[in-house]
Structure 1
Amino acid sequence: MCSFRIIVVSYLNSFHSCIINFLHLENILSFSIKFTSTSCTDFDFSPLAWSEETNMALCFKAIKKELSSKRNDFFLENNRLLLKELVSSIHGKYNLIRVFSEEEILEATNKYDSDQFLGYISVHTWYKGCCGDRDVLIKKFLDWPDRKHCATEHKNVVELLGCCLETEFPILVFKNCFHGTLSHRIHSGTTSTCLEDPVFPWEEKLRIAAEIAHAVAYLHSFTVRPIIHNDITAENIILDGQGGGKLANFSRCIPLPLGRTDVETPILLGTHWCLAPEYVSKGRVSEKTDVFSFGILLFELLQCSAHLSNETLESALKKVIERVIEMQFKKCIELANICTSDKDSERPTMKEVTEELWRIKKMRT
């Protein structure tokens, strides 16, 4: 019997570049990954009696090889995209993240079992899972929007732990802080505007508003390049179970070029009913675009009702102001009105919005 051994050694030192581009697409502006390893695969070949079974075995082997090749193609393409987007943003800072295999993702979600399913938003689904002894959130894309995804580290931004690059669309793994979305919290209970709503207390609403405002202000003012989230809605805010909220879904965000305060885009992204007028009419995106969307979110928190027309909104606000005398509530309505001004020049910055909300928050104490 004749046999021989082929040792195939594949170096994975280029893995550092595999991840860089993808994380710009979601949750890390700049980071460095050190991953050096070698894999050694032994192939043992022996003469086989040629038969139908041999043909079948070779057929299965060819199919397996093709699937492996396809997975590798996804891996390389995702790496190329990731590197292209993020290499310019490193600037010496780094965050360590983990790279998960597709098998680990399948095991964590029990092969995407329905019991692990949390919800569907836009072009992705959320699953809960467990990796080792750690509870995680899995973000599985159903499509890959042709946009940049970015965010940064902030206590009110969902924390990214790692990603999987072996699938057709990259999969993200987050720290599990999921206790529903703000949208579900607003609309699952009473729609009363009373400040003492037992289902959703006023203090909790105000805290979430202030925290999300701070997270958006951070994106605008404290990153390498200003980042426009471009989809600030109650659906994209995850509740942490401790009375706070975390900003999620950066699939539609737009980083502003250095030295620019706005940018024009030919395609409208984001949730249409909360887009700023200048974005809808001219395709112009700036920090004030997020301010407008935040103002709509603030109205939704105050009113517990979304998609209000201007006439309905004015009527509802008048009744609320007549009925509620608490200064905090009225100040929040005034702030929401300023944020949703038709002229972007009349809107405050998110930093100013954050400062005002913290001032309002302190009034009641």
Structure 2
Amino acid sequence: MSCFTCSHPDTLSFRTSPTQNSKDTGKRTLKSFVRDMSLKFKSDRSRQRQIIAAEILKYGTAKNHVEVFTYQELAGATDNFNPECLIGEGGFGSVYKGYIKSIKQSVAVKQQNRNGLQGPREFLAEVLMLSLVKHPNLVKLIGYCAEGDQRILVYEFMPNGSLEDHLLDIGGDEEGLDWERRMKIAEGAARGLEYLHETADPPVIYRDFKASNILLDEDFNPKLSDFGLARMGPTGGKDHVSTRVMGTYGYCAPEYASTGQLTTKSDVYSFGVVLLETITGRRVIDYQRPTEEQNLIDWAHPLFKDRSKFILMADPLLKDKFHVKSLFQALAVAAMCLQEEADTRPHMSDVVTALHHLANQKIRQKEIPKEPFIKSAGHVESLGGLNSYIHP
């Protein structure tokens, strides 16, 4: 039996429901948000729903109206979770493409695996975080279902998949992303982190920044997804959050991996890893490569020390269609994000400024910069130094 959403591609573009817009009228207090949820659940006040409502009530102001769906509604939206509608799967469970008639919207439906890597805590964290934050570069949570042992999250549908799909999972005969698009995706993803770190109140540490969590809409605008590991940032004068080490191997900042002390600079390191992947087209860990090239950061470390080898770090799929000076500058930004000492890494607002410049550069005649933009892998500059890299 074919999935109707798969057989009608013209229905898959994201549309905002007029009904939904009427509910999003400026700032809504968390108290009214919880009250609305309670009215929906007069006939079924499950413990899980009460926990979610209570947790949301502890924090500032709800930025998003989050629908509550029945299992039956979501089964109908995905043709009973038809395998033909499957668009992704992993340790957390499976993601299906669907269409919800009541809100007239195409959606991605993430059904958590009952024995998977994400449990009730991660489910609650994602509903909580995405109710409290709103930004063009963060995926929108449409709603959720918490019936019995079912844990299902419903997001806006992102038709172009993830950055990983277009950067790291492409075949030899496929066209890679061009330089300008890579830099625009990097800039947008950086803006998402900047909002979480410097605008959200309380601040949010994303904790799982990687290419597969950067989703792309119909115009390849990036949106961060999967907030199951996100944590509220330090408050009350504290400079870190202590937590058990979670995330994906290769992307975790060294100080977080060794001490469990999490800061926004931990996200900055992870961003540096993804930016380096974006420049090189290489996975951070790739056991298909020769031993000395399996760890991207270890491979890049000696190359950062020799400007004559910077060009070797460009993804071959770019086919030399980039301005070499821009390549050097992008590598400078990545190198500064990857500093061993957390305090020497830039803030995401500075990274955004740098990448905005790179994303809007026109490809001009290729020329090798006369002076290296990265003096050594351990080279540390002030934030003013970062700007001098980008505006020499």
Q: Partner residue of 1:284?
A: 261
Deviations 1:319-358 (A, max 9, x none): 3436876221111101000001100011001111111111
Q: Partner residue of 1:294?
A: 271
With the length of structure 2 as denominator, give the TM-score of the two structures: 0.70
2:337 counterpart of 1:339: yes
Question: If each structure's strand is expressed as a fraction of its own residues, which one has the higher value?
Answer: 1
Q: Is the 8 A contact 1:262 1:285 kept in 2?
A: yes
| Aligned residue type for 1:269 | M
Alpha carbons of structure 1 residues 328 and 122: separation in structure 2 relative to 1, 3 Å = farther
Stretch deviating more after TM superposition (267-276 or 314-323): 314-323
Q: Is the 8 A contact 2:31 2:57 kept in 1?
A: no
Cα distance in 2 for partners of 1:287, 1:248 equals 17
Cα displacement (A) at 1:313: 1.8
Q: Partner residue of 2:55?
A: 85
SS at match of 2:121: coil
Deviations 1:214-259 (A, max 9, x none): 0011001111111000000001111113122111000111112422
Alpha carbons of structure 1 residues 257 and 309: separation in structure 2 relative to 1, 3 Å = closer
Alpha carbons of structure 1 residues 217 and 39: separation in structure 2 relative to 1, 3 Å = closer
Aligned with 1:255 (options 216, 224, 232)? 232
- Larger RCO (CA within 8 A; separation ≥ 6): 1
Aligned with 2:153 (options 172, 187, 195)? 172
Deviations 1:16-50 (A, max 9, x none): xxxxxxxxxxxx9958433647989xxxxxxxxxx
Q: Is the 8 A contact 2:205 2:267 kept in 1?
A: yes
Cα displacement (A) at 1:145: 5.3
- Of structures 1 and 2, the larger Rg is shown by 1
| Aligned residue type for 1:328 | S
| Aligned residue type for 1:140 | Q
CA RMSD of aligned residues (A): 2.7
Q: Partner residue of 1:134?
A: 105
| Aligned residue type for 1:363 | Q
Q: Partner residue of 1:146?
A: 121
SS at match of 1:136: strand
| Aligned residue type for 2:55 | E
Structure 1 unaligned regions, length at least 5: 1-27, 41-71
Cα distance in 1 for partners of 2:138, 2:40 equals 32
Q: Is the 8 A contact 1:116 1:129 kept in 2?
A: yes
| Aligned residue type for 1:139 | K
Q: Is the 8 A contact 1:204 1:244 kept in 2?
A: no
With the length of structure 1 as denominator, give the TM-score of the two structures: 0.75
Q: Is the 8 A contact 1:178 1:239 kept in 2?
A: yes
| Aligned residue type for 1:327 | K
SS at match of 1:329: helix
Alpha carbons of structure 1 residues 145 and 313: separation in structure 2 relative to 1, 3 Å = farther
Alpha carbons of structure 1 residues 272 and 84: separation in structure 2 relative to 1, 3 Å = farther
Alpha carbons of structure 1 residues 337 and 104: separation in structure 2 relative to 1, 3 Å = same
Cα distance in 2 for partners of 1:350, 1:178 equals 27
Cα displacement (A) at 1:78: 1.3
Cα displacement (A) at 1:363: 3.0
SS at match of 1:225: coil
Q: Is the 8 A contact 1:121 1:235 kept in 2?
A: no
Alpha carbons of structure 1 residues 113 and 352: separation in structure 2 relative to 1, 3 Å = same
* TM alignment of 1:42-121, pairs within 5 A: 76-91=46-61, 93-121=62-90
Alpha carbons of structure 1 residues 218 and 96: separation in structure 2 relative to 1, 3 Å = same
2:299 counterpart of 1:312: yes
Alpha carbons of structure 1 residues 169 and 220: separation in structure 2 relative to 1, 3 Å = farther
Alpha carbons of structure 1 residues 207 and 122: separation in structure 2 relative to 1, 3 Å = farther
